[in-house]
Structure 1
Amino acid sequence: MAGLDYVLFEEPTGYAVFKVKLQQDNIGSRLKDVQKAANDLATFSKIVELVSFAPFKGAAQALENANDISEGLVSDYLKSVIELNIPKADEQVNLGISDKQLGPSIKECFPYIDCHSNEVVQDILRGIRLHSVKLLKNLQEGDIERAQLGLGHAYSRAKVKFSVQKNDNHIIQSIALLDQLDKDINTYSMRVKEWYGWHFPELAKIVNDNHTYCKLVLMIQNKANINDESLHEIAALVNDDAGLAQKIIDAAKMSMGQDVSESDMENILTFARRTDSISSYRINLYKYLTDKMHLVAPNLSELIGEVVGARLISHAGSLTNLSKQAASTVQILGAEKALFRALKTKGNTPKYGLIYHSSFIGKATPKNKGRISRYLANKCSIASRIDNFSDDANNIFGKVLKQQVEDRLEFYTSGKAPMKNADAIREALSLSGANDLVEEKKKKKKSKD
């Protein structure tokens, strides 16, 4: 690498351009010298010289430039700083930068500049940062620290500040908690059945639903207390099924279970109440998740269901990440281990991942499951992009995409030609009223012309 000519120092209060005095064919050979000199201002000032310091006009401009740099973009302000302080030369100018992602953007704007971000550049920038108060003009002690703190808070707030309504973080947490609750409820319910089964073993064979079983345990308590007068009370807990309620009463009268003491029964009931409480909360959490999915990703929810859609968002990390995935990636999302195992053993790669739990995969015949999963992943990719980038959230596109998948399933069985993509999108646009807006804009443009 040729010697460095300039170094760009990004600072919370502005941009600084330094000229590098250390000119050698291979500056990398002086790495140790640079590291030693960085700790001493007198020595370090012989390596770099300030060309220009361009301060920001305010906190808003500092935040805007920080966001651009984090995304590897050259702002208009940075472009003007480079243009004014790094003159165009016949030979390539070597510029040291802290973030290598910024290099391609600078190269695109200034073809005569080669950007470098190696160890020597980082050590020089470390020295500049260490002695910035002395090297930069018009700065006082503490200015940089206050600017760093203010910019850090503003940058963090901007990164985590999403729309209160369209926040997929709650979906990720909800689906994770829902999975954990399902495991816990299953474990606790098995324990309640096993514990209460010593007293009334026949009840577990009559009632399969865990939540209903816990409610019946809390209502019945001691089986000797129930009789024919308890029919309506028991029926209310089993969806008003009088036959099933009578069956429970008859089983209690002829039960082979043993009697338990009051203290034992109290502990069983306490645990049953806790299990019933968790089961009730699980129902409320599921309702919250479905409502949140309809708000954040209405089209994806309409197409593939709230739970499967939430699992896709959670596995991708966010709705934005999911929208950036290719359809082939969405298809096997959740089956990464199987994919890499197949690639390692040169076996058959998986045809589906999380989307396997969709009802469309279950409806397809075995030979068509791979085909419909590929088609469904394509539609999920479209739906997630519409949900993520559209300002007006609605499920119209999801309904049309879902109809396309259903038509594709019918095509596999009957051979009836499905709706074309262009017709489907045109229909969705007409239902959403987008076409009317486009025509209105065209008319306004013609009237202005």
Structure 2
Amino acid sequence: RLVADHETYARIIAELGGRGNMEAESLRSICISAERSERIASSAHSSLGAPLGEGDLEALRELAERILKLYEYRRHLEDYLSALMEEVAPNLSRVAGSILAAKLVERAGGLRRLAMMPSSKIQLLGAEKALFRALRRGAKMPKHGLIFQHPLIHRSPKALRGKAARLLASKLALAARADAFTGAMMGDRLRDELERELRDLRKNR
């Protein structure tokens, strides 16, 4: 893939416009690596597609600028949410990350309700439909719900994701209870324990 992500693609269109402006030097000026800039420029100049009119290019650039503003707004919201979750549920945020922690609290109906859940229920939060479908039809049970979004889970080998999800859910349960009831700070320790246990799990597979 020539362009790594959608935001970079939108920035190229917003700042450079049509393929006639896709010079390697211009691409490097918007923080694209030299090697990738050369490949994009070469591909743009060898393209067989018909050129766009000025009206079409202007519409595309306007759309690209709006997309970039949405990315910026998303980062602003994520920063706000991170600060809020660090205040409300610091332990849960350290273990799960602020975005996933907020989703778990919302899905559970509040931090206190999340703290009162067993780890097995936290593991499947967000997978209720799949769980009920499995119970009705005798299908394969889901191994995880929202917590699949945690990088330590979705980067784990597929065969180990169920065990990894159980480990994570147990740490999340402890973190939520500390945030809701005791106020003790243990998030960093729980995160370190989780990473160590997952490393051991991969070694002993």
- TM-score bracket for the superposition, by shorter chain length: 0.7 to 0.9
Asked if 1:312 is matched to 2:89, the reply is no
Cα distance 1:410–1:245, how it changes in 2: closer, same or farther (>3 A)?
closer
Specify which of 302, 316, 328 is matched with residue 120 of structure 2: 328
Task: Report the counterpart of residue 138 of structure 2 in structure 1.
Answer: 346
Task: Report the counterpart of residue 269 of structure 1 in structure 2.
Answer: 61
Q: Which runs of 5+ in 1 are unaligned?
A: 1-204, 416-449
Give deviations 1:195-217, integer Å, cap 9, x for gaps.
Answer: xxxxxxxxxx5213111111111
Asked if 1:405 is matched to 2:198, the reply is no
Q: Hey, what's the Cα distance between the residues in 2 that align with 1:226 and 1:362?
A: 36
Task: Report the counterpart of residue 93 of structure 2 in structure 1.
Answer: 301
Give deviations 1:16-72, integer Å, cap 9, x for gaps.
Answer: xxxxxxxxxxxxxxxxxxxxxxxxxxxxxxxxxxxxxxxxxxxxxxxxxxxxxxxxx
Q: Hey, what's the Cα distance between the residues in 2 that align with 1:227 and 1:359?
A: 36
Contact 2:22 2:40 (8 Å CA) reproduced? no
Alignment of 1:69-108 (within 5 A): none
Task: Report the counterpart of residue 214 of structure 1 in structure 2.
Answer: 10
The structural deviation recorded for 1:399 is 1.3
What count of residue pairs does the alignment treat as equivalent? 204
The structural deviation recorded for 1:253 is 3.1
Contact 1:364 1:372 (8 Å CA) reproduced? yes
The structural deviation recorded for 1:316 is 1.0
Task: Report the counterpart of residue 71 of structure 2 in structure 1.
Answer: 279
Q: Which amino acid aligns with 2:13?
A: V
Q: Which amino acid aligns with 1:253?
A: H
Normalising by structure 1, what TM-score? 0.41
Q: Hey, what's the Cα distance between the residues in 2 that align with 1:360 and 1:260?
A: 44
Cα distance 1:247–1:362, how it changes in 2: closer, same or farther (>3 A)?
closer
Q: Hey, what's the Cα distance between the residues in 1 that align with 2:109 and 2:148?
A: 19
Q: Which amino acid aligns with 2:43?
A: A
Contact 1:338 1:350 (8 Å CA) reproduced? yes
Task: Report the counterpart of residue 43 of structure 2 in structure 1.
Answer: 251
Q: Hey, what's the Cα distance between the residues in 1 that align with 2:85 and 2:63?
A: 33
Cα distance 1:247–1:363, how it changes in 2: closer, same or farther (>3 A)?
closer
Larger radius of gyration: 1
Cα distance 1:246–1:320, how it changes in 2: closer, same or farther (>3 A)?
same
Give 3-state SS (helix, strand or coil) of 2:186's partner.
helix
Whose relative contact order is higher, 1 or 2, with alpha carbons under 8 Å and at least 6 apart?
A: 2
Q: Which amino acid aligns with 1:251?
A: S
Normalising by structure 2, what TM-score? 0.84
Cα distance 1:245–1:332, how it changes in 2: closer, same or farther (>3 A)?
same
Q: Hey, what's the Cα distance between the residues in 1 that align with 2:157 and 2:44?
A: 46
Q: Hey, what's the Cα distance between the residues in 2 that align with 1:222 and 1:379?
A: 51
Cα distance 1:213–1:338, how it changes in 2: closer, same or farther (>3 A)?
same
Q: Which runs of 5+ in 2 are unaligned?
A: none
Give deviations 1:127-170, integer Å, cap 9, x for gaps.
Answer: xxxxxxxxxxxxxxxxxxxxxxxxxxxxxxxxxxxxxxxxxxxx
Q: Hey, what's the Cα distance between the residues in 1 that align with 2:22 and 2:161?
A: 51
Q: Which amino acid aligns with 1:402?
A: R
Cα distance 1:385–1:259, how it changes in 2: closer, same or farther (>3 A)?
same
Q: Which amino acid aligns with 1:234?
A: L
Alignment of 1:15-414 (within 5 A): 206-225=2-21, 227=23, 231=25, 233-239=26-32, 241-362=33-154, 364-391=156-183, 396-414=185-203
Cα distance 1:335–1:253, how it changes in 2: closer, same or farther (>3 A)?
closer
Cα distance 1:284–1:406, how it changes in 2: closer, same or farther (>3 A)?
same
Q: Hey, what's the Cα distance between the residues in 2 that align with 1:370 and 1:253?
A: 48
Task: Report the counterpart of residue 28 of structure 1 in structure 2.
Answer: none
Q: Which amino acid aligns with 2:131?
A: L
| Structure ranking higher in helix proportion | 2
Give deviations 1:47-105, integer Å, cap 9, x for gaps.
Answer: xxxxxxxxxxxxxxxxxxxxxxxxxxxxxxxxxxxxxxxxxxxxxxxxxxxxxxxxxxx
| Structure ranking higher in strand proportion | 1
Identity %: 32
The structural deviation recorded for 1:304 is 2.1
